[in-house]
Amino acid sequence: MKTVQLNNGVEIPILGFGVFQIPGEKKEQAVINAIRAGYRHIDTAQSYMNETEVGLGVKNSGVAREELFITTKIWIENVSYDGVMNSFQGSLNRLGLDYVDLLLIHQPYNDIYGAWHAMEELQKEGKIRAVGISNFAVDRAVDLSLFNEVTPAINQIEINPFNQQTEAIEALKAQGICPEAWAPFAEGKNEILSEIGKKYNKSVAQVISRWLVEQEIVVLAKTTNPERMAENIDVFDFSLTDEDKAAIATLNIGESQFFSHADPNMIKWLAERKLDL
């Protein structure tokens, strides 16, 4: 598996398996199947309410812990110094782990600076190998980077052919922050992407993953189908041409395919979501 070196030297597998909204009865087995398919990077979060099942999947996968890269995220209500300190151990307990490889602030709201200081301390204690953020606009990511001891290693944001975020990606990389794509496939089906896939006998999802991998962007994919898991990770035996990339560039709408993190109503809705852990 190809890896990307983060700004503190930690290596992250460029393809990760996401577990958001996987049905309850399938969570543990999905993680086991993903690891069997070759994934070594598993991404969860407090708000996904499945850290326990992810931990069981990791435990029962038959693969040594040190060979895996595990990410979790701090939810909004816990984004403060005390909130991180009080909730992170719960995440470790549910995961059944002594440390995580990456801890992210899930949303750019609440006491971000207090949370970040707590994460810096936990990293020094060896409970986190790398710290990062998720859904942060570039200006907020750079601000956090400039006025703290530790620069975020990752910013996990929506990146897909319809919301390509080219300028944001360049600015993050210039600051030493690795971009990581959630929802890379968006709606997925598209004639241009399908035609590119036919050239290489690849699926649309494989074409999108390859497009991101060639930009050194970490990619998160989700499926409960073992055959699809194996397919999604099989993207290292072909390369896109400049013509392919130019065609994909024409798909950019330049806006979220889901919702805006700057929408006040969405911020209120997210903030009102309380966890029952």
Q: Which residues are annotated as a binding site for substrate?
A: 106
Residue located via tokens 């035609």: 195
User: Do the Cβ atoms of 208 and 161 come closer than 8 Å?
Assistant: yes
Q: Which one of 39, 48, 113, 200 is the catalytic residue?
A: 48
Closest CA to 66 of 40, 105, 38, 44: 40
Please state, as a whole number, how many other Cβ atoms lie within 10 Å of the Cβ of residue 120.
Answer: 15
Known binding-site positions: 106
Quote the tokens at residue 240: 């896109």
Quote the tokens at residue 5: 């070196």
Residue 48 designated active-site: yes
Please give the Cα distance from 81 to 99 (Å, whole number): 18
Which positions are annotated as active-site residues? 48
